[in-house]
Amino acid sequence: MSKYSDDFFSEYEEIYSDSNKKNVRSSAASHSYEEYDFNDFSSRSQHSREYYDYDREDFDRNRRVMNESNRRAVRSKNVYGGNARIQNRRNPSAQHPYKLRRKTRRTLILTIGIILVLGILTGIVAIAVSVGGVGKVESLRVSELTADQAVLSWEKANHADGYRVLMAQGDSQDYQEYLRIDDPDTCTATVSGLDQAVSYSFCVTAFRGDKESEQTVLNSVWTLPEAPEITNIYSAKKGEIHLDWSANDKASGYIVEYKKDGGEYGSDTTLTVSDPTECRADIPDLETGATYYVRVAAYLSGEEQLTGQRSAEQSVQVVSEDTPVTPKAAKQTVDSTIDPDKPMIALTFDDGPLDGGSGEKILDVLEQYNARATFFMVGCNVTDRADNLKRKVQLKMELGNHTWNHAHYGNEVTPDDISMASNEIYNVCGQYPTCFRSPGGMTTDAILNECAAEGMSAYYWSIDTEDWSSKDADAVYHAVVDYVQDGDIVLMHEIYDSTADAVEKMVPELIDRGFQLVTCHDLMTLKGGSEPVPGKQYRNAFEELTP
């Protein structure tokens, strides 16, 4: 073991003495009660030299300990004393008072800053609201749609006092206010009185005071086509059902759905009729003896097919053998545009139909003035004049039977003369006639019995223009306008050009006088006070005739 010289220990005593002095000073504040005798160190050091031999390894280890102690003492020096700093490091939860104050100050400054920012934002919102700021209507949609109404809904707008609902038809952008809602929580509106199968655009805005939000627009909302009415349904052929329905002039076609009793409607029990003028269908290959339910809907073609409301269900039992069918007129409905309190008359035309010439000219005039009339047609004339007959159906004229060939009068008229004409009219246009006029006006009980069996009422006339005799347009014109009264039934013929010319002058004149030009059925129902009875004959709206 090597020995250290006296010079080495002298240097060691000097360094160690200085270090102890510094440590004592740094801890004086917390250890004021302890006194240190620095002179005593020399004697102890001398004692160490005298009694112990230090080798280099012991000395190096002590010096490292001493240096680490010095470094800790230096780091711990501050105004509050080193021991407190060392204690805080040993126990991090015991925070220095100055540090606590600094953290508190930072937290306070941050809190105040957040409060100021929130206050500024609140002020901005308040200013925006105070000058009329209102949120835009979002998520505008149609939640329900029928043939004549649309139910709109949307999400509640911010800061709104209420909403305005506007509407435009077709491609027009001329929005008209439909409804004003003064409740900000009411976010739905029912728009009624719409036309069927028509495109509409809707616009909703939110308002606050006299301020209004941007418009929210919903374009190209098509109302549904109206539901057709099944006018006739029967089973006359083995395993087959036949049905007819009312035409919809806005439809692109029709969908026929059927199901067996206890079953469900499905794609495999659906027929499509793509011709909107073809309002009848045969459903084959059905189970005989079973009862089937049928319904019909019109549809519109476009980017997507829009199917309208379904008709009421009709049921029929399928026959096992072919069975003769008696023609049956469909139940009629009254034109809702007619005012029952205003004067009305029924113009009637015999001996048609006639394609081109007078037949088409009469229809042109009636269509121009939105007038209705009743046409009593000869069965043998129908087959080759299908276009004229179908046009009558489209214009909602009333179809009448004038026997098969106008060859028999009075007692000579047979049930077949009437039923053959009814069936031919049906075969061409899909509708049975709803009324009858006897050739020459000669009606018998046998004629009325057949009319009752087919569901037809019969009509005579209260004004005879004798157009077949005069063939003079002015004479026909004055025969009507000089004598016509409320509730009259006027007799004319559609096969004369002179009659067509008279109608061209007569119709606008009658309308200017306040007359409504209606069918015989609507005249009896609205002016006479009750629907006409099948098998009965009427002279005008108020008078019944017996054979």
Look up tokens 């102690």; give the residue: 69
Catalytic, 159? Answer no
Q: Can you read off the two tokens belonging to residue 158? A: 């911010």
- In sequence order, which residues have a C-beta less than 8 Å from that of residue 7 and are 6 or more positions away? none
Helix (H) or strand (E) holding 308: strand 306-310
Across the strands, what pairs with 293?
259, 315
Look up tokens 């508190």; give the residue: 104
DSSP state of 525: I
Reduced to 3 states, what is the DSSP secondary structure of residue 251? Answer: coil
Helix/strand/coil (H/E/C) assignment for every residue in 101-150: HHHHHHHHHHHHHHHHHHHHHHHHHHHHHHCCCCCCCEEEEEEEECCCCE
- In sequence order, which residues have a C-beta less than 8 Å from that of residue 57 and are 6 or more positions away? none
- Residue 545, phi then psi, degrees to nearest 5: -110, 140
Q: Which amino acid is at 125?
A: V
Look up tokens 């709803």; give the residue: 434
- Residue 467, phi then psi, degrees to nearest 5: -65, -30
Separation CA 381–CA 388 (nearest Å): 11
404: nearest Cα among 392, 394, 415:
415
Q: Which amino acid is at 316?
A: V
Look up tokens 């005798």; give the residue: 37
Separation CA 527–CA 118 (nearest Å): 75
Among residues 402, 406, 493, 521, the one annotated as catalytic is 493
Q: Which amino acid is at 492?
A: M
How buried is residue 431: exposed, middle or buried, by Cβ count under 10 Å (0-12/13-18/19+)? buried
Q: Which residues are known catalytic residues?
A: 350, 493
